[in-house]
Amino acid sequence: MRVAMIGTGYVGLVSGACFADFGHDVTCVDKDAAKVETLQSGGIPIYEPGLDLLVQRNVREGRLHFTQDLTDAVREADAVFIAVGTPSRRGDGFADLSFVYAAAKEIAEVMNGYTVVVTKSTVPVGTGDEVERIIRETRPDADFAVVSNPEFLREGAAIDDFKRPDRVVVGTDDERARNVMHELYRPLFLNETPIVFTSRRTSELIKYAANAFLALKITFINEMADLCESVGANVQEVARGVGLDNRIGSKFLNAGPGYGGSCFPKDTLALVRTAQDFKSPVRLVETVVDVNDKRKRAMADKVIAACDGDVSGKTIAVLGLTFKPNTDDMREAPSLEIIPALQEAGAVIKAFDPAGTVEAEHMFSGVEFTSGPYFCVEGADAVVIITEWNEFRALDLERLKASMNAPVLVDLRNIYVPDEMQAAGFKYTSIGRP
């Protein structure tokens, strides 16, 4: 089938490359000339393991194309995916849908023959209705259907998530559109992947509900970690005991400095705003948002406490800046709250991240970025692990201690074992463990 993917951000580029790998002819469209040029020359503007090889292979085999020209891509397409950004709107936190609606109008102006227009971007309930209205108003004669097909990609594992998903959700009541979507995802049908066909509004809500529930699990175990610290319990053992209940499951029960990234913060806030607009408030999700925001700031206090209550003039080495490992995404990362708070308290910050430094340099001031973990810790009065990159899971503790002014390590991801750290001579602080 012929596919046009509007937007070559994280979702659009991964989805476009994977559809091409399924055997479809995919054209990815972006208005950013520099990004298109980078992609055409074999470069990848985002960090995602395996994506460079996937893109290069499908470009080489003639199934994947990049262009600024929306017209030809849409006219020839059986399905047009809208995969543009929906950032939180300043002031009210609602999803900014201006890019989605602009794309819908541009698609309407050039579409040719029966076309399935698919919202792949994460959008609030009812967005598909408005996309349909815009297209109908722009082209009353158009033969089309608007479908919701939310993405469930984890950064750092996106290709595997697309090709071996837990489920695919498709929101449409149009039989022809259903057949098109069935054909697009045919390889997954053959693998017996559950395909959930539902109404468009239900599909839109499924995405927000899923992310809100996962954010709730993270926030729940973080609050349990605080309680564990107060009563002398071990949050990792609590999480294991709880997670072995198959009604709950063990995923997303790792205590840490709070969730971040491109999805959970934006989507929970958008769900709260949508619920308020429909006068059906979601109190649990409102609390999750509030608790998570406060938790990130509280992590700086934990670092200060580990440094005997004062970091003024002390050098703090920060390992990990991105919101999670295997990505260069800095959006809503805990480091964005923790580092400024430490700087306000008088700390001098050195930092290292395996992939996020380029992005981080635009977001921090007064931070010395280093080229490796051991360069980062030289002369430090304390080390803070914020992101659990594999590079930080087996550090040479003797080398680490020898490089530091003081052997203080604050592990916000519970990578290390407290007894082993104590035996190695560190003053060790972790999350929710005695």
Give Cβ neighbours of residue 56 (< 8 Å, ≥ 6 apart): 42
Indicate the helix (H) or strand (E) that contains 411.
strand 408-411
Would you state the structure tokens that stand for residue 237, as one six-digit string?
């053992």
In the chain, the largest separation of any two C-alpha atoms, in whole Å, equals 75
| Burial state string for 157-168 with b = 16 or more CB within 10 A and e = fewer than 16 | ebbebbeebeeb
Q: Out of 28, 228, 263, 376, which one is annotated catalytic?
A: 263
**End-to-end alpha-carbon separation of the chain, Å?**
57
Query: What would the two tokens of residue 128 be?
Result: 């598909």
For this structure, is 263 an active site residue? yes
Q: How far apart are CA 350 and CA 48, in angstroms?
A: 25
Report the alpha-carbon distance of residue 363 to residue 349 in Å, rounded.
Answer: 14
Paired residues of 385 in beta bridges: 319, 411
d(CA 258, CA 96): 24
Are 299 and 282 in contact, with CB atoms under 8 Å apart? Answer: no
Asked if 307 and 314 touch (Cβ cutoff 8 Å), the reply is yes
Residues 6+ apart with CB under 8 A from 223: 291
Rounded Cα distance between 324 and 363, Å, is 17
Q: 122 φ, ψ to 5°?
A: -75, 120
Whether 288 and 354 have beta carbons less than 8 Å apart is answered as: no
Q: Please state, in angstroms and rounded to a whole number, the distance separating the CA atoms of residues 73 and 107.
A: 10
Q: How many CB atoms lie within 10 A of CB 418?
A: 16
Helix (H, G, I), strand (E, B) or coil at 23: coil
Using the structure block, give the residue that is written with the tokens 């005997």. Answer: 308
d(CA 330, CA 328): 6
Instruction: Round to whole Å and give the CA distance between 137 and 35.
Output: 32
**Beta-sheet pairing, 315-319 with 348-352:** parallel
Name 187's Cβ contacts closer than 8 Å, sequence gap at least 6: 22, 23, 163
Smallest CA-to-CA distance from 150 within 138, 166, 134, 135 is with 166
Active site residues: 263
